[in-house]
């Protein structure tokens, strides 16, 4: 099952300058046989509304392909952004990759 997971690891700021690159990366992976896309935020220091918009668009696109997008390792700033916008209710958020892996193995 783990081979059916694609991990996307944006780095630095996920803002207006990096959002198109992030969307392109997700789009390029949609044709793979992956069923789950994990966006690992461990190397993201800041995300603004453009980054959040790109993430929401990616979520909708992935869902249209009948696949799943989840996130992990979000920092406090991203967590607050998620909570303020209600995205913490939309996205399945894992504390870290280990928690995601355990969850995935428990479903297998």
Q: What does DSSP assign to residue 3?
A: G
User: Where do we find the tokens 């793979």?
Assistant: 32
pLDDT 10s digits, 48-100: 999 999 999 999 999 999 999 999 999 999 999 999 999 999 999 999 999 99
- pLDDT of res. 3: 65
Q: How confident is the model at residue 106 (pLDDT cuts 50, 70, 90)?
A: confident
- Which residues fall within 8 angstroms of residue 76, CB to CB, at 6 or more apart? none
- pLDDT of res. 72: 98
Report the predicted TM-score, pTM, of the whole model to 2 decimal places.
0.93
pLDDT 10s digits, 1-59: 556 899 999 999 999 999 999 999 999 999 889 999 999 999 999 999 999 999 999 99
User: Cβ–Cβ contacts within 10 Å for residue 105, how many?
Assistant: 10
Instruction: Give the Cα separation of 64 and 58 in Å (integer).
Output: 10
- pLDDT of res. 59: 96
């Amino acid at each position: 099952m783990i081979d059916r997971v694609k991990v996307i690891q944006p780095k630095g700021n996920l803002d207006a300058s990096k959002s198109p690159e992030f969307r392109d990366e997700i789009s390029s992976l949609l044709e793979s046989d992956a069923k789950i896309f994990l966006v690992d935020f461990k190397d993201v220091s800041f995300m603004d509304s453009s980054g959040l918009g790109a993430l929401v668009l990616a979520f909708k696109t992935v869902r249209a392909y009948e696949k799943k997008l989840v996130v992990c390792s979000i920092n406090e700033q991203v967590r607050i952004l998620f909570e303020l916008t209600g995205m913490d209710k939309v996205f399945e958020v894992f504390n870290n990759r280990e928690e995601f892996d355990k969850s995935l193995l428990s479903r297998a």
